[in-house]
Amino acid sequence: HPRVLSGMQPSADSLHLGNYLGALTNWVESQNDFDNFFFIPDMHAITVPQDPESLRERTRVTAAQFIAGGIDPERATLFVQSHVPEHAQLAWIMICLTGMGEAERMTQFKDKSAKGGAESSSVGLLAYPMLMAADILLYQPHLIPVGDDQRQHVELARNLAQRFNHRYGETFIVPQGFYPKTGARIYDLQNPTVKMSKSAESPNGLISILEEPKKTAKKIRSAVTDNGTDVRFDQQEKPGVSNLLSIFSAVTGRSIPELEEAYVGKMYGHLKVDVADAVVERLSPIRERALELLDDKAELDRILAIGAQKAREVAAPVLADVYEKVGFLPAS
Ligand code: TYM
């Protein structure tokens, strides 16, 4: 089976609707046709300051949401990045293959370092995409299902794979990004021209998987739209309505034109109520299941330990081959 790999950071108390529609739903679908590796990049999370106890807890909470959202740990390899030391080891080699200018051109690095002041951001933030390249290349995957905001990072991983192969001989599969047709970019409900993210300016712009369904419905019903009246997908003129249509389409599987057709002559309020209902219906069972799973932390930890073992079986020989090719003297 061709292989799929992807990851999601444990950097908040809950995943959000963008994580779910942009990535997790695609992961769940790919389980039938691919050999899947899904992991929690806790090492990426510490590129910005984290409270240690929350990081540990958020790592479990993220794992619980993967499983509740439909990842079957019997079929997919589900693991935590820091449990597999090969990620850090290959990351160093990727760092040494990357040009300084190339790293500094990454838009996510530019955005994040600009926010905190370039002086105060860590070297880890700059090296983040090289760690991500290592995450990917260690497993020789063919497809990387991610949202739109990870495009540039996936491109870098492809470039680094090609560069390594060229310099040291054929080693890595050059993987492809896989971006969903609807849901690749979910926007903030209060500020529909910026992507939905955990660092939202207003908490009302962000839908968290683990929040009370009532809260979710209320946030959608009070989403920012525009002064017009027709329900039409138009990213430029109607970013708020377009975002609601994208969410609705991703959650129900109905196409955007079909939805536009269904809302001819209806008001925004009507659309909002229906989107709220559809999202709540989809998220509620996931929330409940995740909370149940979190009641048995020992069981979650056991699942993650098995995943780490399976992951290492794939990653270790790839790293050994890389070490040999770059000219490291074998330890024994
Ligand atoms: P992260 O943790 O920020 O996001 C996890 C996934 O959610 C997607 N996503 C969105 N999709 C649609 N609309 C949004 N508003 C939205 N916000 C987030 C992201 O595109 C992503 O697919 N660097 C990665 C984690 C990572 C990784 C990897 C991914 C580390 N190593 C290797 C793939 C392969 C990140 O920070 O994603």
ipTM of the complex: 0.99
Pick out the residues of the known binding site for ATP.
Answer: 9-11, 18-19, 147-149, 186, 195-199
CA 56 to chain centre: 18
Which residues have C-beta within 8 Å of that of residue 258, sequence separation ≥ 6? none
Annotated binding residues, written as ranges, equal 9-11, 18-19, 135, 147-149, 186, 195-199
CA 205, CA 187: separation in Å to the nearest integer? 8
Residue 188: strand pairing partners: none
146 CB near ligand 1 (under 6 Å): yes
Edge-first strand listing for the sheet containing 176-178: 77-80, 35-40, 3-7, 143-145, 176-178
Q: How far apart, in Å, are the Cα atoms of 60 and each of 209, 213, 235, 288?
A: 15, 22, 36, 15
Alpha-carbon span 76 to 39, nearest angstrom: 10
For residue 248, the CA-to-ligand 1 centroid distance in Å is 21
- How far is Cα 175 from Cα 4, in angstroms, rounded to an integer? 9
Pairing outcome for strands 77-80 and 143-145: unpaired
Cα 22 to averaged position of ligand 1 atoms, centre (Å)? 8
- Decide: helix, strand or coil at residue 84: coil
40-43-49 Cα angle (round to 5) = 115
For residue 112, indicate whether it is catalytic. yes
With beta carbons less than 8 A apart as the criterion, state whether 178 and 26 touch. yes
- What is Dmax (Cα atoms) for the chain? 75
Which residues, at least 6 apart from 195, have a Cβ–Cβ distance to it below 8 Å? Answer: 18, 149, 185, 186, 187, 188
Q: Are 166 and 152 in contact (CB under 8 A)?
A: no
Residue entry with tokens 């530019």: 110
Q: How far is 295 from 20, CA to CA, in rounded Å? A: 22
pLDDT given at position 246: 97
In Å, how far from its chain's centre is CA 216? 21
CA dist 30 and 143 (Å) reads 10
Respond yes or no: is residue 195 known to be catalytic.
yes
Look-up: residue for tokens 């970019």? 185
- How far is the C-alpha of 176 from the C-alpha of 144, rounded, in Å? 6
- CA nearest neighbour of 274 among 232, 228, 221, 225: 221
Q: Please give the distance, rounded to the nearest whole angstrom, from the Cα atom of residue 146 to the centre of ligand 1.
A: 6
Task: Say if pTM beats, i.e. exceeds, 0.90.
Answer: yes
């990213």: which residue's tokens? 235
The reply to whether ligand 1 has any atom less than 6 angstroms from the CB of 149 is yes
Nearest atom in ligand 1 to the alpha carbon of residue 150 is 20
Instruction: Determine the residue type at 228.
Output: G
Q: Which residue is associated with the tokens 């495009």?
A: 151
Tens place of pLDDT for every residue, the chain, 332 residues? Answer: 899 999 999 989 999 999 999 999 999 999 989 999 999 999 999 999 999 999 999 999 999 999 999 999 999 999 999 999 999 999 999 999 999 999 999 999 998 888 876 677 899 999 999 999 999 999 999 999 999 999 999 999 999 999 999 999 999 999 999 998 888 899 999 999 999 999 888 999 999 999 999 999 999 999 999 999 999 999 999 999 999 999 999 999 999 999 999 999 999 999 999 999 999 999 999 999 999 999 999 999 999 999 999 999 999 999 999 999 999 999 87
- Between the CA of 43 and the centroid of ligand 1 the distance, in Å, is 14
pLDDT given at position 118: 62
- Residue 297 tokens, joined: 């932390």
pLDDT value of residue 125 = 95
Burial class of residue 227, CB neighbours in 10 A (0-12, 13-18, 19+):
exposed
The minimum-distance atom of ligand 1 relative to the CA of 186 is 13
Residue 198 designated active-site = yes
Count H helices and E strands in the chain, helices first: 14, 5
